[in-house]
Amino acid sequence: MAADAIQQYHVQPDALRKLCSLPADFAKRSAENTAESHIGQQRAIDAIRFGIEMQRDGYNIYVLGPIGSNRHDLVKSLVAEHAKTRGVPPDWCYVNNFSNPERPQSLRFPAGQGREFRDDMRNLIGEMQLAIPAAFEGDDYRNQLRAIEEDTKKQVEEQWASLNERAAEEGIGVLQTPTGYVLAPLVDGKVIGDKEFNKLPEEKRKEIEAAIERLSEDLQERVEMMPKLRKDHRERVKALNEEVTEHAVSVQLADLIDKYKSMPRVAAYLDDVQDDIIRNAHDFQEAETPALPFLGRDSEHLYGQYEVNLVVDNASADRAPAVYEANPNYPNIIGRIEHRAEMGTLMTDFRLVRSGALLQANGGYLILDTRRMLSRPFVWEALKQSLFAKQVSIETPGESWGFVSTTTLKPEPIPLDVTIILIGERWLYYLLSHYDIEFSSLFKVAADLDDDLERSDDNVEQYARLVVRKAQARELLPLNTAAVQRVIEERARYAEDSERLSMHMSSLDDLIEQADYWARQRNSAEIDAGDIAKAVSERRRRLGRMQSRVIDAIKRETLLIDTSGECVGQVNGLSVTDLGDFRYGHPVRITATTRIGTGDVVDIEREVELGGAIHSKGMMILSSALSARYAPDLPLSLRGSVVFEQSYGGVEGDSASVAELSALLSSLSRLPIRQCIAVTGSINQLGRVQAIGGVNEKVEGFYDVCRERGLDGSHGVIIPQDNVKHLMLREDIVDAVRRDAFHIFAVRHIDEAISILTGVDAGERAEDGSFPEDSVNALVERQLVEYATARKSFAREAVQDDEV
Amino acid sequence: MTKSEMRLRVIIAVTETTPVARLWETALRLLRETPADLAALYLQDDRWYRVASLPFTREILRRGGIPVDFTQQRAEQVSRERAARVREAIGKLAAESKLEPVFESLSETDAARLRKFIGSRENIFVAPSFISTRPIFSMLSEMNCRIELVEAEEEQERPAYTLP
């Protein structure tokens, strides 16, 4: 193929890197204008706004976007904006449930009044701690108590005295043993024994026995009466204690009941408090620290039961809450019940109930990172359960899942009205949508962030302003116009498209921060284009160890890559190695061999299971393209094999299919391929060359190898025409192309690629069905016909041999 | 005769109804006046054994329930318990005065043991006045023991009911 014919496929230098051109006074003007923070994300912004304004069940939001897309800032700013328009939600408290302490009751207060109520109860407790003991230590109480005790004592002694009197009348003594009483006959005031007793006349003995019998019954009755006397005494003392306690607390409680009478549940709770204090008045007398911890309730416990556990406090809020929980584990989301160790036992009560982010965000918005949330056990199910039930039940995961059966608290659920905003990657959204049937009914709003935006003049202007504003916000050196232009170009490169700009904001931040560093290193007052370029190249250098090793291996001919000369069945393909944060391209030798066969093209990578599914698909397509294009009337009697030489890892993608087909065509045509040219591109069954990914890295990878060996003007890369718009090559490559030291060829069809690679015209099929003499296609077809003929004759000979 | 056997001994003679504290004061006074040893003699009340010897005696329990037979064994228990109670009271008083009296318990009708206890030593008995009507008083008088009577009445047993 003549050089001037090849010329038509050259990509012009201007198309290799689309430069940015901003007005000269851009930097000055941009400082005066505010920039839109989230340009190019209008669809996602509208979706988020829709979700946060749609106050209906299930309208929770999933924000789809990659890490670094500024998704958190976007969500937080939109939520903060809308939170101002919503009222401050109520406060929530947990208080003791006196009839069932294991189920603390919740109380709702208008914002700010929860704290006030808590303080009121604290004051009440403080007053009780003074007033109640004082009342019990007062003379009035002591006198009344003494009167009751004396009255009871008198009753007991009366019983005793009357018994003794009656016994004495009958000549019987009442003796007290440590555990009871013994009735004994007396003679002259002295207890007599059996000898004296037996000396008495029989009649007297019978009288004594009868008297003792009667008195025993009487004594028994009196003994049985004693518990009742004790009970009566207790009740009288209790009544007195209650009266004293009621008097001591009624004034303070009456004020509180009056203050909170408009809140029926609170008023009812205060009534319960009063009843409980009065009912347990006796405890307040002994509300001191017991000698041993387990011997009684100390004052902390006694008065603590009237404390208020303020779990949601919106006293200082002026808008609806917007909570971001960075560590979305179960307790942090749902809440937890804490315990304290007492005498080796874990104890809890309503005061140790702690709210989670759901309650903190109640009445507003809760922002969660999906990946983190899903990686924490039990959280997702608990969150869904709360959303479905529209209430938060604070319980341990063990309790929630029924693993634990020990007695613990079960606080009254609190009604939930919150908008959940999950932020996560797209694949997580699709995964949840596909596998969790409840997901779509709970998260009805998807806000899909764009990865990039069109590089229109208007967008470039806005984007450039955003760059300037980011530098200001981060207190970086100002960027001059050239620097901003360079940033725009790098953002197009990051987007792998000269016509689009990446919206990956964290990488933009990194770029300008690093450029700031380099500008400061040279004591500059501003960041210029060189600093941006330096930031890019230094980053590449920091991450480029593997790339250097590959180039070095090629240079030392450990990895065999020819960049000069010609070879049949051998072509330079291009591959990209992705290291996550960095990727680079490098050439890879692809060889093909052909011989007579049954129409198979063997992909050695696939045979040894090193080829991925897409690579295998590409191989099958090129095999099909081969059979469709040549000798259509004959069976494809070819056995070809294709391999990535010195490839010891997996191969994926179909971007080498143009190279693979070129190697096969070279092998069939026996036309050598120029090794100074590398080729990339995928192919369809009709031979059409299609776009591939990583075109910039691939071109740069081959360029770097050729540069190491010395550019002589012959080197170049064939890329799909459809990839030209994606080119944002390094400036040194653009310069090399401008100097004719390196070439980029853009092709649309395999014929164009093979023509460039072999230097021989591929040849178009004429109306008579033939290809031009000595064209690549003619040679390929001739070879395939020969294979078919030979195969046919082999088959005939085999039949004759069988007949013989 | 050893030196200690010649030494004067002050003996507090107590029964289960004796107000011990009053006797203790007198004993201390005597000890202050004359160097002497101190001993406590508990005179067992035989009434528990006597009442236990009667076939119809029952103990009506304070906690209620069916009355139980008051046996000799039970009498022994009660007697021991009473002696222990008195010994404890004397022990407390002695501890306050940093004294360690010898404690002896015997039946007030057991003359032989009483004689043996008294021995040949010079003893001063500190006893409640009501003891003068009891047989032991005459026994001690016969043994030429010096008796210091302390005006005291037998303590009346109060109903053993405690208020809640």
pLDDT (tens digit per residue) in A734-784: 999 999 999 999 999 999 999 999 999 999 988 888 899 989 999 999 998
Q: pLDDT (tens digit, 9 = 90+) per residue, A240-259?
A: 988 888 888 887 788 899 99
Mean pLDDT for all residues in chain A: 88
Confidence of residue A411 (pLDDT cuts 50, 70, 90): very high
Q: pLDDT (tens digit, 9 = 90+) per residue, A324-370?
A: 999 999 999 999 999 888 777 888 899 999 999 999 999 999 999 99
- Scanning A260-348, the segments in alpha helix (DSSP H) are 264-279, 281-285, 299-304, 330-334
Residue of B119 and A518 predicted with greater confidence: A518
Among A679, A635, A636, which Cα is nearest to A661's? A679
Q: What is the pLDDT of residue A701?
A: 94
Of all residues in chain A, the percent with pLDDT exceeding 90 is 53
**CA gap A604, A608 in Å, rounded:** 6
Confidence of residue A537 (pLDDT cuts 50, 70, 90): very high
Which tokens in the block code for residue A147? 């009167």
Confidence of residue A611 (pLDDT cuts 50, 70, 90): confident
ipTM above 0.90, yes or no: no
Contacting residues of A for B157, CB less than 8 Å apart: 175-176
**B40 bridge partner residues:** B12, B103
Q: Is B65 on the interface with A (CB under 8 A)?
A: no
Confidence of residue A297 (pLDDT cuts 50, 70, 90): low
The A-side interface with B (CB below 8 A) comprises 149, 152-153, 156-157, 159-160, 175-185, 190-197, 209, 212-213, 216, 219-220, 223-224, 226-227, 229-230, 233-234, 237
pLDDT for residue A303 is more than 70: yes
DSSP state for residue A645 in the 8-state scheme: T
Is 3.40.50.620 the CATH classification of the domain at B3-150?
Answer: yes
Confidence of residue B1 (pLDDT cuts 50, 70, 90): very low
Contacting residues of A for B50, CB less than 8 Å apart: 184, 191-194, 196
pLDDT for residue B160 is more than 60: no
Q: What is the pLDDT of residue A670?
A: 94
Q: What backbone torsions phi and psi does residue B151 show, to the nearest 5 degrees?
A: -60, 115
Of A149, A196, A219, nearest to B60 by CB-CB distance is A219
Q: How far is B53 from chain A (nearest CA, A)?
A: 5
Q: At what angle do helices A695-709 and A731-738 cross, to 10 degrees?
A: 60
A33-47, A155-169, B41-55, B92-106: least confident range:
A33-47
- Scanning A86-138, the segments in alpha helix (DSSP H) are 113-137
**A709 bridge partner residues:** none
Confidence of residue A627 (pLDDT cuts 50, 70, 90): confident
Which residues contact residue A364 at a Cβ distance below 8 angstroms, ignoring those fewer than 6 apart? A83, A86, A89, A319, A320, A321, A322, A323, A418, A419
Cβ proximity of B102 and B9 under 8 Å: no
pLDDT for residue A415 is more than 70: yes
A655-664, A713-722, B151-160: least confident range:
B151-160
Which tokens in the block code for residue A550? 């590959």
Strands (E) across A73-208 are located at 91-95, 105-109, 172-176, 180-187, 190-191
Residue of A389 and A189 predicted with greater confidence: A389
Q: pLDDT (tens digit, 9 = 90+) per residue, A219-228?
A: 888 888 888 8
pLDDT for residue A502 is more than 80: yes
Of B49, B64, B78, nearest to A177 by CB-CB distance is B78
Among A568, A579, A505, A595, which Cα is nearest to A540's? A579
Contacting residues of B for A190, CB less than 8 Å apart: 47
pLDDT for residue B2 is more than 60: no
- Residue B112 neighbours by CB distance under 10 Å: 8
CB-based contact B159 A212, cutoff 8 Å: no
**A718 bridge partner residues:** A679, A745
Among A501, A496, A440, which Cα is nearest to A465's? A501
Tokens 């391209």 — which residue? A585
**CA gap A693, A490 in Å, rounded:** 17
A26-30, A177-181, A378-382: least confident range:
A26-30
pLDDT for residue A556 is more than 60: yes
Cβ proximity of A519 and A527 under 8 Å: yes
Cβ proximity of A185 and A167 under 8 Å: no
Contacting residues of B for A181, CB less than 8 Å apart: 59-60, 62
- Count of alpha carbons within 13 angstroms of residue A308, beta-carbon side: 27
Cβ proximity of A591 and A628 under 8 Å: no
Is residue A390 part of the annotated active site? The answer reads: no
Tokens 């080829």 — which residue? A611
**CA gap A770, A779 in Å, rounded:** 11
**CA gap A163, A157 in Å, rounded:** 10
What angle is formed at CA B39 by the lines to CA B35 and CA B45, rounded to 5 degrees? 150
Three-state secondary structure string covering B27-78: HHHHHHHCCCEEEEEEEECCHHHHHHHCCCCEEEECCCCCCEECCHHHHHHH
Q: What is the pLDDT of residue A34?
A: 61
Which tokens in the block code for residue A310? 């303020």
Among A106, A722, A699, which Cα is nearest to A415's? A106
Q: What is the pLDDT of residue B158?
A: 59
Q: What is the pLDDT of residue A636?
A: 81
Q: How far is B64 from chain A (nearest CA, A)?
A: 6
Instruction: Name the pairing type of β-strands A61-64 and A445-448.
Output: parallel
A375-384, A396-405, A689-698: least confident range:
A396-405
Q: With H, G, I as helix, E, B as strand and everything else as coil, classify residue A188.
A: coil
Q: What is the pLDDT of residue B164?
A: 43
**CA gap A519, A526 in Å, rounded:** 7
Contacting residues of B for A179, CB less than 8 Å apart: 59, 61-63
Q: How far is B148 from chain A (nearest CA, A)?
A: 25
Q: At what angle do helices B135-142 and B111-118 cross, to 10 degrees?
A: 50
pLDDT for residue A299 is more than 90: no
> Which chain B residue lies closest to A193 (C-alpha atoms)?
B50
Q: How far is B164 from chain A (nearest CA, A)?
A: 6
Q: With H, G, I as helix, E, B as strand and everything else as coil, classify residue A59.
A: strand
Domains and CATH numbers, chain A: 20-40+450-543 (1.10.8.60), 561-790 (3.30.230.10)
Among B97, B91, B93, B106, which Cα is nearest to B15's? B106
CA torsion sign for A480, A520, A581, A715 is: positive
Q: How far is B142 from chain A (nearest CA, A)?
A: 24
**CA gap A786, A46 in Å, rounded:** 65
Q: With H, G, I as helix, E, B as strand and everything else as coil, classify residue A107.
A: strand
**CA gap B92, B84 in Å, rounded:** 12
Q: What is the pLDDT of residue A288?
A: 52
Among A61, A35, A58, A37, which Cα is nearest to A49's? A61
Residue of A158, A181, A208, A240 to mutate for B, most B C-beta atoms under 10 A: A181
Residue of B51, B63, B69 to mutate for A, most A C-beta atoms under 10 A: B51
**CA gap A434, A521 in Å, rounded:** 52
pLDDT for residue B97 is more than 70: yes
Is residue A386 part of the annotated active site? The answer reads: no
DSSP state for residue A477 in the 8-state scheme: P
Q: What is the DSSP string of A619-634?
A: HHHHHHHHHHHS-TTS
Q: What is the DSSP string of A199-255?
A: HS-HHHHHHHHHHHHHHHHHHHHHHHHHHHHHHHHHHHHHHHHHHHHHHHHHHHHHH
> Which chain A residue lies closest to B70 (C-alpha atoms)?
A182
Which tokens in the block code for residue A720? 């799909």
**CA gap A715, A707 in Å, rounded:** 9
Of B58, B64, B157, nearest to A176 by CB-CB distance is B157
